[in-house]
Amino acid sequence: MKAQNIKIAVDAIVFGYEKAQLYVLLIKQKYGVFKDTWSLPGGFVLNEESLTEAVKREVREEAGITVSYLEQLYTFGDEVQRDPRARVISVAYVGLVNPEKLTLQADTDAQDAQWFPFQGLPTLAYDHAKIVEKAIERLQAKLSYQPIGFDLLKPEFPFSDLEQLYKTILAKELERLEKDLDRRNFRKKILSFGILEETDKIQSIGSGRPARLYRFNQQKYKELEKEGFHFEIKFA
């Protein structure tokens, strides 16, 4: 029986949303053949830790932030030469955060950490461009069955921010369908779920009419989930 020499790594695709723009967290490599190249936060799994522990540690060590929830995305390893150092299989995770709450601070083997607009990413190390592409596909799919605004929007926001979030993430998909969000039906559908609360606060948006602020009721959503409720929005 031939001996294996395969290493296991984790990579994190952390999305942030701010000022009607979707961002991806990247770190700049400090060492190795990809020195000075941007990549996703990540690294090898230690012997004593789980995959989830490893990916949270890497994000914390390389970017200086803590992401409470990371969802496993996909395992990348079909390309044998995806990492010039060795045969490496990477388990990728996706996280959603509000960048306003976080302060980036590069450390360990990262010399910098920044947010980049997902439609204007620099050249990425390894096969990380493919990983980001797969993560975008997952994020677009999640919009139809999960209220991801919980994690990406401010605690209180005008309804137009929620609309813009969907339009930003679905930009290419809506273009493919040759349509835009039907604002009236979208608003009616979202409000019908009963998980969005209207507050008594008003916010002025540019030169337009002041808008009422809303907030998600996460407790209500969790209660509905236990009762078998399914969040669903169709775009096709």
Integer angstrom CA distances of residue 116 from 16, 56, 99, 125, 146 = 9, 20, 11, 15, 24
Residue 157, pLDDT > 80, answer yes
Q: What is the CATH number of the domain that holds 211?
A: 1.10.10.10
Q: Answer whether residue 29 is part of any domain.
A: yes
Tokens for 86, please give them.
Answer: 């060795």
Q: Answer whether residue 98 is part of any domain.
A: yes
Residue 176, pLDDT > 80, answer no
Q: Answer whether residue 77 is part of any domain.
A: yes
pLDDT (average), residues 106-115 = 93
Residue 34, pLDDT > 60, answer yes
Query: How many whole angstroms separate alpha carbon 9 and alpha carbon 6?
Result: 10
Residues 103 and 192 in one domain: no
- The torsion angles phi and psi of 6, rounded to 5 degrees, stand at -115, 135
Query: How many whole angstroms separate alpha carbon 120 and alpha carbon 136?
Result: 13
48 — pLDDT class (breaks 50, 70, 90)? very high
pLDDT on residue 199: 92
Q: Answer whether residue 14 is part of any domain.
A: yes
* Range ranked top by mean pLDDT from 93-102, 163-172, 220-229: 93-102
Q: Answer whether residue 1 is part of any domain.
A: no
Residues 114 and 18 in one domain: yes
Residues 160 and 124 in one domain: no
Quick check: 72 and 93 in contact, CB under 8 A? yes
Residues 33 and 126 in one domain: yes
Residue 218, pLDDT > 90, answer no
Residue 97 CB neighbours (<10 A): 22
Question: Which of 138, 173, 199 is the C-terminal boundary of a domain?
Answer: 138
Residues 128-150 pLDDT 10s = 999 999 999 999 888 878 888 87
Question: Which of 98, 115, 138 is the C-terminal boundary of a domain?
Answer: 138
Residues 124 and 159 in one domain: no
Number of domains in the chain: 2
Supply angle C-alpha 164, 166, 169, rounded to 5: 105
pTM confidence score? 0.86
- Nearest-10 Cα torsion for 66, 69, 70, 71: 180
Mean per-residue pLDDT of the chain: 88
pLDDT on residue 187: 87
> Which of 40, 11, 17 has the alpha carbon at shortest distance from 121?
40
Quick check: 16 and 97 in contact, CB under 8 A? yes
pLDDT on residue 178: 55
Query: How many whole angstroms separate alpha carbon 54 and alpha carbon 133?
Result: 22
Quick check: 218 and 224 in contact, CB under 8 A? no
Residue 210, domain extent:
149-226
> Which of 54, 47, 41 has the alpha carbon at shortest distance from 14?
41
Give the containing element (helix H, strand E) for 216. strand 211-216
Residues 6-21 pLDDT 10s = 899 999 999 999 888 8
Residues 132 and 153 in one domain: no
Residues 19 and 119 in one domain: yes
Residue 36 CB neighbours (<10 A): 11
Residues 114-131 pLDDT 10s = 999 988 999 999 999 999
Give the containing element (helix H, strand E) for 7. strand 6-18
Rounded to 10 deg, the angle between the 128-142 and 159-169 helix axes is 130
pLDDT on residue 193: 87
234 — pLDDT class (breaks 50, 70, 90)? low
